[in-house]
Amino acid sequence: MILAVDIGNTNITLGAFVDGKKIFSARLAADRDRTADQYAVEIKMISDIYKAPGLEGASVSSVVPELTPAVTRALDKLGAKRVTVLGPGVRSGLNIKTDDPAQLGADLVAAAVGALAKYEAPCFIADLGTATKISVLDANGAFLGCSIAAGVGISLRALSQNTSQLPALGADEPRQVIGTNTYTSMQSGVVLGTAAMLDGMFDRMAEEFGSQPRSIVATGGWSANIYKYCRHEVIYDPDLILDGLLRIYEKNI
Protein backbone atom coordinates (compact mmCIF):
# COMPACT_ATOMS: atom_id res chain seq x y z
CA MET A 1 0.00 0.00 0.00
CA ILE A 2 1.14 3.51 -0.85
CA LEU A 3 -0.22 6.24 1.40
CA ALA A 4 -0.73 9.79 0.10
CA VAL A 5 -0.71 12.31 2.95
CA ASP A 6 -1.77 15.95 2.52
CA ILE A 7 -1.00 17.98 5.67
CA GLY A 8 -3.13 21.11 5.77
CA ASN A 9 -3.73 23.77 8.38
CA THR A 10 -7.03 22.22 9.50
CA ASN A 11 -6.94 18.58 8.41
CA ILE A 12 -4.52 15.85 7.39
CA THR A 13 -6.03 13.97 4.46
CA LEU A 14 -4.99 10.37 3.82
CA GLY A 15 -5.45 8.35 0.66
CA ALA A 16 -4.37 4.69 0.45
CA PHE A 17 -3.58 3.14 -2.94
CA VAL A 18 -2.93 -0.43 -4.03
CA ASP A 19 -1.81 -0.96 -7.64
CA GLY A 20 -2.81 2.62 -8.42
CA LYS A 21 -6.38 2.26 -7.13
CA LYS A 22 -7.63 4.09 -4.07
CA ILE A 23 -8.86 1.73 -1.36
CA PHE A 24 -9.77 4.34 1.24
CA SER A 25 -9.46 7.99 2.18
CA ALA A 26 -9.74 9.58 5.62
CA ARG A 27 -9.15 12.81 7.51
CA LEU A 28 -7.34 13.50 10.76
CA ALA A 29 -7.28 16.75 12.72
CA ALA A 30 -4.07 18.69 12.10
CA ASP A 31 -3.05 18.91 15.76
CA ARG A 32 0.40 20.40 16.32
CA ASP A 33 0.54 18.90 19.84
CA ARG A 34 0.25 15.27 18.75
CA THR A 35 3.36 13.13 18.73
CA ALA A 36 4.63 10.77 16.06
CA ASP A 37 3.38 7.84 18.16
CA GLN A 38 -0.12 9.30 18.33
CA TYR A 39 -0.27 9.84 14.59
CA ALA A 40 1.07 6.33 14.01
CA VAL A 41 -1.68 4.86 16.19
CA GLU A 42 -4.41 6.81 14.37
CA ILE A 43 -3.14 5.91 10.89
CA LYS A 44 -2.78 2.25 11.92
CA MET A 45 -6.32 2.16 13.34
CA ILE A 46 -7.79 3.68 10.19
CA SER A 47 -5.85 1.24 7.99
CA ASP A 48 -7.10 -1.67 10.09
CA ILE A 49 -10.71 -0.49 9.77
CA TYR A 50 -10.40 -0.74 5.98
CA LYS A 51 -8.39 -4.00 6.20
CA ALA A 52 -5.61 -2.34 4.20
CA PRO A 53 -2.39 -4.23 3.44
CA GLY A 54 0.97 -3.28 4.92
CA LEU A 55 2.46 0.14 4.25
CA GLU A 56 5.17 0.11 1.57
CA GLY A 57 5.73 3.82 1.03
CA ALA A 58 4.22 7.26 1.39
CA SER A 59 4.06 10.57 -0.46
CA VAL A 60 3.61 13.67 1.67
CA SER A 61 2.68 17.27 0.92
CA SER A 62 2.60 19.78 3.75
CA VAL A 63 1.83 23.45 4.27
CA VAL A 64 2.49 23.10 8.01
CA PRO A 65 6.25 22.59 8.41
CA GLU A 66 6.06 22.04 12.17
CA LEU A 67 3.77 19.03 11.64
CA THR A 68 5.80 17.35 8.91
CA PRO A 69 8.45 15.67 11.15
CA ALA A 70 5.86 14.04 13.44
CA VAL A 71 3.85 12.67 10.51
CA THR A 72 6.89 11.39 8.61
CA ARG A 73 8.23 9.69 11.77
CA ALA A 74 4.82 8.08 12.22
CA LEU A 75 5.02 6.69 8.69
CA ASP A 76 8.51 5.34 9.43
CA LYS A 77 7.18 3.63 12.57
CA LEU A 78 4.47 1.98 10.46
CA GLY A 79 7.09 0.41 8.21
CA ALA A 80 7.20 2.71 5.19
CA LYS A 81 10.35 1.86 3.22
CA ARG A 82 10.26 5.17 1.34
CA VAL A 83 8.68 8.47 2.36
CA THR A 84 8.72 11.20 -0.29
CA VAL A 85 8.12 14.70 1.11
CA LEU A 86 7.22 17.05 -1.73
CA GLY A 87 9.62 19.99 -1.91
CA PRO A 88 12.78 21.19 -3.66
CA GLY A 89 14.72 18.27 -5.12
CA VAL A 90 11.66 16.05 -5.53
CA ARG A 91 10.68 15.37 -9.14
CA SER A 92 7.11 16.44 -9.86
CA GLY A 93 7.29 16.90 -13.64
CA LEU A 94 5.50 20.24 -13.25
CA ASN A 95 6.85 23.28 -15.11
CA ILE A 96 6.42 26.13 -12.60
CA LYS A 97 6.55 29.63 -14.09
CA THR A 98 6.04 31.70 -10.94
CA ASP A 99 8.53 34.30 -9.69
CA ASP A 100 10.04 31.84 -7.20
CA PRO A 101 9.05 28.20 -7.89
CA ALA A 102 10.52 27.08 -4.56
CA GLN A 103 7.86 29.10 -2.72
CA LEU A 104 4.90 27.34 -4.37
CA GLY A 105 2.87 25.37 -1.84
CA ALA A 106 3.25 21.60 -1.99
CA ASP A 107 -0.53 21.15 -2.07
CA LEU A 108 -0.79 23.35 -5.17
CA VAL A 109 1.95 21.35 -6.89
CA ALA A 110 0.25 18.04 -6.08
CA ALA A 111 -3.16 19.32 -7.23
CA ALA A 112 -1.66 20.52 -10.52
CA VAL A 113 0.07 17.18 -11.14
CA GLY A 114 -3.19 15.36 -10.43
CA ALA A 115 -5.18 17.66 -12.72
CA LEU A 116 -2.77 17.33 -15.63
CA ALA A 117 -3.00 13.54 -15.40
CA LYS A 118 -6.81 13.53 -15.49
CA TYR A 119 -8.13 16.63 -17.25
CA GLU A 120 -7.59 18.76 -20.32
CA ALA A 121 -5.43 21.87 -20.19
CA PRO A 122 -5.67 24.85 -20.00
CA CYS A 123 -7.09 24.13 -16.57
CA PHE A 124 -8.22 26.16 -13.58
CA ILE A 125 -8.06 24.45 -10.18
CA ALA A 126 -10.12 25.75 -7.25
CA ASP A 127 -8.87 24.35 -3.93
CA LEU A 128 -11.34 25.25 -1.17
CA GLY A 129 -9.64 24.45 2.12
CA THR A 130 -8.52 26.69 4.96
CA ALA A 131 -7.73 29.16 2.17
CA THR A 132 -9.52 29.43 -1.17
CA LYS A 133 -6.91 29.04 -3.91
CA ILE A 134 -7.35 29.13 -7.69
CA SER A 135 -4.46 27.92 -9.84
CA VAL A 136 -3.96 28.38 -13.58
CA LEU A 137 -2.32 25.80 -15.86
CA ASP A 138 -1.69 26.73 -19.48
CA ALA A 139 -2.22 24.59 -22.58
CA ASN A 140 1.21 23.01 -22.14
CA GLY A 141 0.58 22.16 -18.51
CA ALA A 142 2.80 24.89 -17.05
CA PHE A 143 1.79 26.37 -13.70
CA LEU A 144 1.38 30.11 -14.33
CA GLY A 145 0.23 31.31 -10.90
CA CYS A 146 -2.72 31.46 -8.57
CA SER A 147 -4.92 33.60 -6.33
CA ILE A 148 -5.36 33.09 -2.58
CA ALA A 149 -8.26 34.32 -0.43
CA ALA A 150 -9.64 33.53 3.01
CA GLY A 151 -11.42 30.20 3.03
CA VAL A 152 -15.06 29.38 3.76
CA GLY A 153 -14.31 28.17 7.30
CA ILE A 154 -12.41 31.34 8.12
CA SER A 155 -15.31 33.45 6.85
CA LEU A 156 -17.83 31.48 8.91
CA ARG A 157 -15.76 31.83 12.10
CA ALA A 158 -15.15 35.52 11.50
CA LEU A 159 -18.87 36.19 11.14
CA SER A 160 -19.81 34.24 14.26
CA GLN A 161 -16.97 35.36 16.52
CA ASN A 162 -16.78 39.03 15.60
CA THR A 163 -20.47 39.88 15.43
CA SER A 164 -22.42 39.47 18.66
CA GLN A 165 -25.84 39.06 17.06
CA LEU A 166 -24.92 36.57 14.34
CA PRO A 167 -25.17 32.83 15.10
CA ALA A 168 -22.65 30.10 14.31
CA LEU A 169 -23.50 28.10 11.21
CA GLY A 170 -22.10 25.59 8.79
CA ALA A 171 -22.00 25.79 5.01
CA ASP A 172 -25.49 24.36 4.58
CA GLU A 173 -27.24 24.47 1.22
CA PRO A 174 -28.92 27.88 0.79
CA ARG A 175 -32.46 27.89 -0.52
CA GLN A 176 -32.43 31.48 -1.69
CA VAL A 177 -30.10 34.35 -2.52
CA ILE A 178 -32.18 36.93 -0.67
CA GLY A 179 -32.17 35.71 2.92
CA THR A 180 -35.29 36.34 4.96
CA ASN A 181 -33.71 35.77 8.38
CA THR A 182 -30.24 36.01 9.87
CA TYR A 183 -29.39 32.36 9.28
CA THR A 184 -30.46 32.18 5.62
CA SER A 185 -28.84 35.54 4.94
CA MET A 186 -25.50 34.22 6.24
CA GLN A 187 -25.92 31.03 4.21
CA SER A 188 -26.42 33.08 1.08
CA GLY A 189 -23.48 35.35 1.76
CA VAL A 190 -21.00 32.60 2.55
CA VAL A 191 -22.01 29.82 0.14
CA LEU A 192 -23.43 31.72 -2.82
CA GLY A 193 -21.00 34.59 -2.24
CA THR A 194 -18.07 32.20 -2.50
CA ALA A 195 -19.51 30.62 -5.65
CA ALA A 196 -19.98 34.06 -7.19
CA MET A 197 -16.41 34.99 -6.26
CA LEU A 198 -15.13 31.83 -7.98
CA ASP A 199 -17.17 32.58 -11.10
CA GLY A 200 -15.86 36.14 -11.17
CA MET A 201 -12.26 35.03 -10.69
CA PHE A 202 -12.59 32.39 -13.43
CA ASP A 203 -13.77 35.10 -15.82
CA ARG A 204 -11.04 37.56 -14.84
CA MET A 205 -8.34 34.88 -15.06
CA ALA A 206 -9.53 33.78 -18.49
CA GLU A 207 -9.49 37.41 -19.66
CA GLU A 208 -5.95 37.96 -18.35
CA PHE A 209 -4.77 34.56 -19.55
CA GLY A 210 -6.24 35.20 -22.99
CA SER A 211 -8.07 31.90 -23.30
CA GLN A 212 -10.95 29.99 -21.78
CA PRO A 213 -9.98 26.88 -19.80
CA ARG A 214 -10.75 23.44 -21.20
CA SER A 215 -11.50 22.25 -17.67
CA ILE A 216 -12.24 23.72 -14.24
CA VAL A 217 -11.73 21.42 -11.27
CA ALA A 218 -12.75 21.93 -7.63
CA THR A 219 -11.14 20.12 -4.71
CA GLY A 220 -10.60 20.67 -0.98
CA GLY A 221 -12.76 20.20 2.08
CA TRP A 222 -15.31 22.94 1.31
CA SER A 223 -15.59 22.35 -2.42
CA ALA A 224 -18.52 19.91 -2.17
CA ASN A 225 -20.61 22.67 -0.55
CA ILE A 226 -19.75 25.32 -3.13
CA TYR A 227 -19.00 24.02 -6.62
CA LYS A 228 -22.59 23.13 -7.53
CA TYR A 229 -23.60 26.81 -7.20
CA CYS A 230 -21.01 28.05 -9.69
CA ARG A 231 -22.35 29.10 -13.08
CA HIS A 232 -19.30 27.71 -14.82
CA GLU A 233 -19.11 23.98 -15.44
CA VAL A 234 -16.95 22.71 -12.59
CA ILE A 235 -15.70 19.15 -12.07
CA TYR A 236 -15.72 18.06 -8.43
CA ASP A 237 -12.68 15.91 -7.58
CA PRO A 238 -12.08 15.45 -3.83
CA ASP A 239 -9.07 13.17 -4.48
CA LEU A 240 -7.15 15.49 -6.78
CA ILE A 241 -4.23 16.18 -4.41
CA LEU A 242 -4.02 12.53 -3.33
CA ASP A 243 -3.86 11.39 -6.96
CA GLY A 244 -1.14 13.93 -7.64
CA LEU A 245 0.87 12.74 -4.64
CA LEU A 246 0.68 9.16 -5.85
CA ARG A 247 1.98 10.16 -9.27
CA ILE A 248 4.81 12.18 -7.71
CA TYR A 249 5.75 9.18 -5.58
CA GLU A 250 5.93 7.03 -8.70
CA LYS A 251 8.15 9.58 -10.44
CA ASN A 252 10.67 9.38 -7.58
CA ILE A 253 11.01 5.62 -7.15
Query: What residues are labeled active site?
Result: 107
Cβ–Cβ < 8 Å for 129, 222: yes
**How far is Cα 91 from Cα 227, in angstroms, rounded to an integer?**
31
Q: What 8-state DSSP symbol labels residue 130?
A: S
Q: 156: part of which helix (H) or strand (E)?
A: helix 152-162
Cis peptide before 213 (omega within 30 of 0): no
Selection from 46, 50, 58 nearest residue 2 by Cα: 58
Q: Cis omega (within 30 of 0) on the bond before 122?
A: yes
Among the listed residues 166, 96, 171, 101, the one whose alpha carbon sits nearest the alpha carbon of residue 132: 171
Which contiguous run of DSSP H or E holds residue 57?
strand 57-62
